[in-house]
Structure formats: C-alpha cells, structure tokens
Amino acid sequence: MVKQFIDEESGKIIEKSVINAITIDCVIFTFDNGNLEVLLIQHANGISKGKWALPGGWIKEEESIDEAAQRLLRETTGIKDLYLEQLKAFGEPGRFPLGRVITIGYYALIKKSDFDIKAGFTAADAKWFKLKDIGNLIYDHNEILNFSLEHLRAKVKRAPIGFNLLPEKFTLLQLMQLYQEVLGIQLDKPNFRRKILKMKLLIALEEKEMNVSHRAAKLYQFDHDRYEMLTRKGFIFEV
Amino acid sequence: MVKQFIDEESGKIIEKSVINAITIDCVIFTFDNGNLEVLLIQHANGISKGKWALPGGWIKEEESIDEAAQRLLRETTGIKDLYLEQLKAFGEPGRFPLGRVITIGYYALIKKSDFDIKAGFTAADAKWFKLKDIGNLIYDHNEILNFSLEHLRAKVKRAPIGFNLLPEKFTLLQLMQLYQEVLGIQLDKPNFRRKILKMKLLIALEEKEMNVSHRAAKLYQFDHDRYEMLTRKGFIFEV
DNA sequence: TCAAAAGTGTTGCTGTTACACCCATGT
DNA sequence: ACATGGGTGTAACAGCAACACTTTTGA
C-alpha cells in the first residue's frame, strides 16, 4: 500500500510504501496548570469526519515501529526529542470498520512549552483535552487511552518520567501537584519535599519563581546524569 | 495470505486466511525444580532449519490477537487456561530476513504438570531450557526473551502471578525459591513466610508434603477469590 | 497585617531486617 | 545421632505519616 507524506526536508508531498493493516496511535500527555492533558485530533474527512481521535499514522516499509512513532510525533507536535514508549498492540477484529487493521499504541510525555502544532493534511484540528473532558473517541481509542493512563500511573511511580511533563525549571510544589494529578491522590507537602530531595536527583538552581504573590519558591532541574549514575549503582526511583 | 492449520475439532488440515506481515511469538515460562525454564521449538524446515526459536504463528483474519495467542499456546502446550499477557510489538525492519514482518510478543506462565507437548507440523522438536542454557535464537527472539524476563521480574513483585508457575498445591519454600530464582535474589525464610502469610492470600490445606527426608511442610493453595475481593478493597500485592 | 505558599522540626508508629532458636522426620 | 528443612520468637533499626510551626512575599 502506498500513502502520501510530507517530506521533512523539501516540504513536498511524496509517496511512500507503508505496511498494510498496521497503524500507530499515540497518546500524547502534557501537564498544564495542575491538569494532565491529552492531545486529540479532529478527523477532517473519511468515515470518521468530525470525530476526535488519537494522533496516528502508518509505518513506512523502511522504518522501525519506534522510528515511525517518532516521526509521527514530530509531524504532529514539532518536537524531536521527547519521551516515547510503546504500550502494546491493539487488534480486535472489529476495531476498525473498513478492514482488519492492527494498531500499535504509544504514549509520549511532552512539556507544553515545547509544543508547536503542525496539523497534517489529514487533521483539521488538534486540541488539548483535560481527561474529564474527553468523550467518545473513534474506533478503540478510548481503550488505548485508558490503557496508557494505567501504564503512566504505574510507571510514574517507579521511574522519573514525570519530569518530561514539566518545564525545564520547576518548583517542588509543581512536581508534587503533578504526582497528585497523575496518581489521583493527596500528598503531604513537607514529606514529599524530603522524599524527593533525599534522592539527590534535583539540581537546586539559584533562581526563584517570579511574580508570585507569596514567598517565591526555589526552582529545580532534573539531573539526568546523576540518575543514570545512581541507577547503575542499583538505585531504584520510587515515589 | 493463506496458511494451513489443523482444525481443533476434526483434526483435519484446513486453510485459513491470515494477516500478512504480522506474527505472534510467545515466551512460555515454567518453574521446575528450582529453575525457571522456557519452552523452545526447533525449526524443522525453511531457512532457519535446525535452529531454536520461540513458539509462534500467524493471526487468522477473524480472531483477535489475544485469541490467536491463546490458540497458539493451546496448539503448542495443550493447555486451555493459562496466564497469558501481551508484551509489545517488535518491528525492526531487518528482524525477519524474508520480508518486513512485525511480531507481537506474548508471555505465558504454566504449571509444568499441565504441559503436554503437541508439536505442530512446522516444529520438529520442543524442549524446556533453563535460562542459562539458552543460546542464540533465530531473528530477534533473544530480544523478545530478554524483554519478557524484565517484564516478568517487574510484574511478579506487584501481582500474584508467580502462582501460575507452581503446582496447585505448594509449600512456602517452593514459593520462596520461585521468587529467588525469578528475581535473582536471596530471601530470608522466616521473614518471607510472615510477609506472604500476612497477606491472607493462601489457603492452608490439611495436607502435608509426602516422602521427604525432613519434617513435612504444610501445603498451600492460592486463593484467587480472596485476592479479587481484597483488590477491590484497595489491597496491593507486593513482594 | 493578612493570605498564601515556602520551608523546617519533631514525634510516634509501623514494618522490616537480622538472627537465634526449637521441631519433625528419614537415613 | 544427625542432617535437612519446617516453623516461631524477638530486639533493633529505619523510614514514614502526621502535624505543628516559622519564614517570606505581594497585596
């Protein structure tokens, strides 16, 4: 099967051979103002015109599944380096009405400030939704979304991936609110501070918050290198 | 594409349409005599003749991926109800030498006593391997195996799936040895006993071990119903 | 001076670890 | 008798939850 793509260098429309019967769908999360949000695309044409869906696409013959997902994310969000992980394949016989298509689910975590929408020629609109505002999506996309949420909740506790949802510089309260929102629990501020700081995974910056009507909080940055180093020594992140 | 299958009712060879370019590969684990083992199949013909591989197969047009994996396991092990979970899709462009084929990895946990080999017409031989005895497998099967092991190690700590590897009735030492083998750690016997028994997930049977040259241990059974009930109340299994 | 959030200190409790010890059974 | 694993008891420690408290800042 042959599909049309926009060539990333020339900007021209080119035709590429894709794998038949397999697609990719991606749940893109971000964190804004205390809310976990998901990027949805409104289909512009075809049988699902007007309905909201997860961003998705085809896999080219010469690229790996991960590369296809990366490309897709780049095409949709303009971001080159982001946290991306495969969930699993979804393949109920009736999931896609026009034939037997298996889709491979991915989820990505991005900083909202990095986001720059580039709606492709098959998407009329793209919008961030708070979880509670998401209604019925096309095909089995609600199932993929729910699975990704479960996965995110489990993983965020056991790996420092939450930082991918925050700006480069953040306060401890922002971090705590992120965990509260993702996990759906309340946390104790003093205890959370101590727990996180004890891990020595944050770089305390000299800077502070600006323009807040209360004592300005210190800003922190996640220390990737130190996390790598500690992990090699057997450290296990756990919130 | 059309492939041949043995009809499960009549035993006759029938032809069925399958999804092109997608296969399933399954890591089947069992626990025997203190060792974690994996079932491998020796290919009887084709380009990989004589090499060992994970059991695998095609997905029929009318069945879901999970159903295909179930069927495959039934064809290979003769077991109808077993613990089965999808890992993820593996799809490097060069993974399969004769074309672009994406495979969906599964892993299954079985009790060795339930096993009854039914080598299909594409497998000359099937054999249980201890982990350390597994050499180079075909295609990317080593990668799938390693991924499944990581997944198993993470999951066995946070869900009571280890019981699927043991006989219906087992001793606490057997259970502890299972955890030691899977996780690659040493555990303290008294502490392990208490931790497990405190969960109230085991039914203490009246029976004891037989024919052992030491004090016979009490036999236990995993209480599925109670686990369901506790989980609904918010209980989280953790070893 | 008040509100709001930053940030520190303290206490009691719980769960875990480490290890000593006794029990039952076949050879 | 002894080796082997079954099974119980306990003291010390570490980590955490709960909450009281002080500090800083803008309005």
| pLDDT, position A121 | 47
Decide: helix, strand or coil at residue A67: helix
Tokens of B138: 């075909």
Strand B35-43 relative to strand B52-53, pairing:
antiparallel
Range with lowest mean pLDDT among A70-74, A141-145, B25-29, B40-44: B40-44
Q: Which nucleotide is at minimal CA–C1' distance from B214?
A: C25
Cα separation, A154 vs A156, whole angstroms:
6
pLDDT in tens, A6-15: 787 787 888 8
Is B111 a residue whose pLDDT tops 90?
yes
Query: Taking a contact as any Cβ pair under 8 Å apart, which residues of chain B between 104 and 143 contact chain A?
Result: 104
Cβ-Cβ contacts under 8 Å for A191 (sequence gap 6 or more): none
| Domains by residue range for chain B, with CATH | 2-158 (3.90.79.10), 166-232 (1.10.10.10)
Contact A104 B92 (CB under 8 A): no
pLDDT grade for A39, boundaries at 50, 70 and 90:
very high
Long-range contacts for B184-193 (Cβ within 8 Å, ≥24 apart)?
Answer: B184/B153
Chain B closest-CA separation from residue A102 CA (Å): 9
| pLDDT, position A118 | 66
Instruction: Protein contacts on strand C: list nucleotides below 7 Å from a Cβ.
Output: 3-10, 16-20, 23-27
| pLDDT, position A20 | 82
pLDDT grade for B131, boundaries at 50, 70 and 90:
very high
Contact A89 B93 (CB under 8 A): no
Decide: helix, strand or coil at residue A215: coil
Nearest Cβ partner of B19 from A21, A64, A104?
A21
Decide: helix, strand or coil at residue B122: coil
pLDDT grade for A2, boundaries at 50, 70 and 90:
confident
Residue–nucleotide distance: B213 CA to D1 C1' (Å): 15
Cα separation, B68 vs B62, whole angstroms:
10
Mean of pLDDT over chain B = 92
pLDDT in tens, B38-61: 999 998 777 878 899 999 999 999
Do the Cβ atoms of A88 and A147 come closer than 8 Å? yes
| pLDDT, position B227 | 96
Cα separation, A123 vs A41, whole angstroms:
6
| pLDDT, position A52 | 95
Helix ranges (DSSP H) in chain B: 65-77, 141-158, 172-183, 189-198, 224-232
| pLDDT, position A122 | 53
This prediction has a pTM of 0.94
Contact B22 A102 (CB under 8 A): yes
pLDDT in tens, B136-169: 999 999 999 999 999 999 999 999 999 999 999 9
Decide: helix, strand or coil at residue B192: helix
Cα separation, A51 vs A167, whole angstroms:
31
What does the DSSP assignment read for A74-132?
Answer: HHHH--SS-EEEEEEEE--TTSSTTS--EEEEEEEE--GGG------TTEEEEEEEEGG
Residue–nucleotide distance: A105 CA to D17 C1' (Å): 38
Residue B190, CB, strand D, below 7 Å: yes
CB atoms within 10 A of CB B53: 16
- H or E, element range at A158: helix A141-158
pLDDT in tens, A99-132: 999 999 999 999 998 987 665 545 568 899 999 9
Phi, psi of B95 (to 5 degrees): -65, -30
